Each structure stands twice: as C-alpha cells, then as structure tokens.
Structure 1
C-alpha cells in the first residue's frame, strides 16, 4: 500500500494541486483588467497545465536516486565554476597588467575572500528569490524544464541557481589571484620583444601574456574547481537543493538502519568525483599550455 501511494497516490495529489493552480489562473485570466495581468495569468495557466500533465505521465513521483543527485551536483558545480572563470580570468589579467587595478582590487579581495559560504548562500537565496518570485511562470525555468530541452532532466529551479552562484562566489578568488600572479610574473624580456616588434595590445595579449601565464591560470582554476565542489555539497545540504549534499542531509534526517552506510557511500562518491575533477583540470592544462603539469600532478 505504501508503494502504491508513493507511485500513484502521491503523483495524483501533485497533479491535482497543479491542475487546481491552473484552474485558478484561468479564472483570474477571465477577470484580468489589464493586458499585463492577462499575460501573466495565461503563462501561469499554461505552465501549471504542463506541470500537471508531466506529473501524471512520469514513471515515479520524483527521481531522487543517488545517480540523479550526482548528475545534478556535477551540473551545478560546472555552472558555478564556469561563471567564476568567466569573471576571474579577465579581472586577473587586468590586475596583472596594471598596478592601479591591482591596488584597487586587493582590498576587495582581502575583504570578501574570507566570507563564509553560508553567508553567500543566504545572500543569494534572498537575491534569487527576489528575481524569480514565481518560478513556475518564469520563461527561464519554462525553457530549461521543457521536455524538448536535453537538460530538462536536471529540473532547474531557483535552488540550483543560488547554489551555483554560491559556488561561483567561493571559487572566484583562487582563480583571480593565481591569474593575476601568473600575468605579473611574465618575463619582462617577452614584453620588451613585443615592444620592439610593435605588437598591438591584442596581439601581445593572445600571443605572449595568456600563453605565458597559462600554468598559473590553470593552477588557480584547479583550486577553484576543488573549492567549488566542496562548497556545493555544504550548500546543497543547507538549502535543500537537489544534489549529493541534500542526499546526505536526507539520510541523516532519516535515521534508518541504512542511513550511516548511505552517508559513507556518499562520502566515497564525493571524494571520487573530486579526484576525477582534479585529474580533468590537469589534462586540460597539459593540452592548453606548454607546461606538462608535472609540477602540479
């Protein structure tokens, strides 16, 4: 009976709740006084209709296995890591090339780098919640969770976004500092040769500065990815965002005879994935730079 309830009854309850929201949105649409209100209610009605249909046709009420949680965590950490790299590398290059920029950003880095991930998590929860007051009707989540989208299996929601933002904020500083250090440590003879050859700024940037600083840039990215993975597990546990962190927290709250074994299993899964992420960064470093990565292997 419990299995029947979980596979059928619970699904029907969720579908009925979504259908009720859709009916309410349709009723509000009929009484909408402005075009913007009508558009908002129409989007809400369509979204809840689709959610009710998806809930009724899915095989299980919720795909919460450790394998799905692992895929969700890996996707979230890469989103946060890429966001951090996009911000950190240009800023690091600017700091390494210009002493004034370095002097301006050093206090900011010194102030915000020690801030706890828990604080960033709470801040991003508030900010993301303000940006997405009605996630079910927001175009971003409708697009990401559309069945035609290959990433729909991740079930993107605000919790995933603020977890990724927390990862990005904590992974930003190692990449930024190492990029600045790598650029500032370039042999001055290289820059002098560039001046003699009258190379423009972009030619110097892509032919001398970036290739010469790649070993330290990748060292920073390697540290950032490790920090991001560690932060993500804690963020998921605290925010109840789907992923390995939430899996560990649910097992802790469950209190069954299998909980301790499942938590130990999750520890090994987290560690093994962290090891392979670290190896991945070393391989990328060897492919992208003249340094074979032996110093950091």
Structure 2
C-alpha cells in the first residue's frame, strides 16, 4: 500500500513538473514574439509627426525605427492582472464593473439554468431508463432537439421572453439538459440485472429500489453527464452574454474588445479558462466520490 501511494506521489510530481516546463516554454515563446523590432531610422515630416501625436504615438520612437508588438507583452499582462485582481468587485457604472462582479453575474445565470436543467433531466432520465416504451416514444424528440446549437435558441427566447437575463438562463437550460438526460437514462438502463433481481426477490419497494439500488449504481454515469453539461453551460454563457450584453464575463470580453483593450480581453479569456477548470475539478471530485473504482 505504501509503495502504491509513493508511486502515485511520484507520478503526480512528474506531471506537475512537466506542466510547469510547458508553461515556461509557452511564456518564453510569448516573450520572444512580443520583443520590439528595430528598423533603420527615418526622418519624419511635420505632417507625419502631427499625425502620430494625434494617434497618441511617440514620434521619436517611430523615427528611431523601433516598433513594439501590437500583442501585449508579459509585463503588460502582469500589470493588467494586478490591476484587476487588486479590486475585482468595483462598480463604476453599467460599462465599468470589476471582473469579480462580472463572474458573479455569469455564475449566477449558469447556476440557475443548470439547476433547472438538472431538476428536469435527472427524473426524466430515470423514467426513460426504466421504461423502454417511454424511451422509444421520446427518443425522436431528443435526437431532433439535441444537435441544435444553444445560440440558435437565443432569438426565439428574446422574442418570446423579452428579457435578456431570463433568455440567457433559458439558453443555459436548453444546452445543459441533454447530456444529463442521456447519461442518466443510459446509467439507469444499464444497472446490473442481478441487482434488480435480488431486490425483486427480497420484495423491496419500487421507491426503495430506485434510491438504494439504481441511483447508487447509476451515479457515476449521472455525474459524468452533469460534468459535461456544466462544461457546455460555461462555454455557452460567454457567447450568450456577448449577444445580449449588459453584464457578465462574456459582455466584459466584448466590451473590452470594442474598447480595443487586448490585454483586458486576454485576461478575461484566461479567467474564463481558470473558472471552467475549477468547475470541472469540482465535478471530478464528486464523480470520484461516487465511483467504485480507485
């Protein structure tokens, strides 16, 4: 047992070290790609100097031939990160809110839409998985609705609901429901028949069979569907908020792009990725907790 634990820690250390090395290589490439480029010095006319000053550029730097990369450097990104993380919850008006507030709005929409989807998908998945008749009746509708892009529902939602926030929640609901529904039905339908026969032999009630036999056996598959749904929901909310505007991390990205602030856009992208990783890790821990395999 001790050797197994030691091997696991060694492998984890190697994986962490490899991840750090990959990150260092990527940051090195970023640094080299954003180094200033030097060209032969030129003489600027008064009109060119005036134009550069109007554009907010330094005429002396332009005359020297040294041009900076349009892509932000690591130093610029570090400054932007410190600026945002030092005060993530400020609120200076509709178009100027901290990244913490924007994430809060997005997570609130995702959480509500996802919760509604789970309350619908998991019970319905149980019914579909336990009844071949219901499965055959509902399968055509599931197969037609499942491939539709969640954003394709947005115009219809805005027209019928007439509220951008509720429309965003509806889009999260409609994109989250299918993986949970399908995985729940699959997990319930593939519970080992021997366990069901034993429960029937012992005259266990249907409700007790559902909660004490079927649910624990199907839990890993159900959590897999919930994990996939959360990833899709977090992916979709960013695009939905770009369309409806107002608040949220998706709106933050679009607003900063309109302001031509590329460092802020990159910071928001990294933040979206980190939050998505945390959400996936949380569901990974839940999935591991209900799994019978080490």
TM-score by length of 2: 0.66
Residue deviations 1:59-115 (CA, integer Å, cap 9, x gap): 744462222101111111111111111111011111110001111111111101111
Deviation at 1:291, TM superposition (A): 3.3
Partner of residue 89, structure 1: 122
Residue deviations 1:42-69 (CA, integer Å, cap 9, x gap): xxxxxxxxxxxxxxxx974446222210
Q: SS at 2:292's partner residue? A: coil
Deviation at 1:242, TM superposition (A): 1.1
Aligned residues: 204
1:252 to 251, 254, 257: 257
Measure the CA separation in 2 of the matches of 1:197 and 1:206. 15
Alignment RMSD? 1.7
Partner of residue 47, structure 2: none
Q: SS at 1:85's partner residue? A: helix
Deviation at 1:159, TM superposition (A): 2.2
Partner of residue 221, structure 1: 226
**How do 1:159-170 and structure 2 match up within 5 A?**
159-170=164-175
Unaligned residue ranges in structure 2 (runs of 5+) = 1-89
**How do 1:179-190 and structure 2 match up within 5 A?**
179-190=184-195
Partner of residue 288, structure 2: 286
Partner of residue 151, structure 2: 118
Deviation at 1:126, TM superposition (A): 1.8
Pair member with larger Rg: 2
> Given that residues 151 and 240 in structure 2 are in contact (C-alpha distance below 8 angstroms), is that contact kept between their aligned partners in structure 1?
yes
Partner of residue 13, structure 2: none
1:66 to 81, 89, 99: 99
TM-score by length of 1: 0.66
Q: Does 1:100 align with 2:130?
A: no
1:199 to 204, 216, 220: 204
Deviation at 1:250, TM superposition (A): 0.7
Change (3 A) 1:116 1:103: same
Change (3 A) 1:280 1:169: same
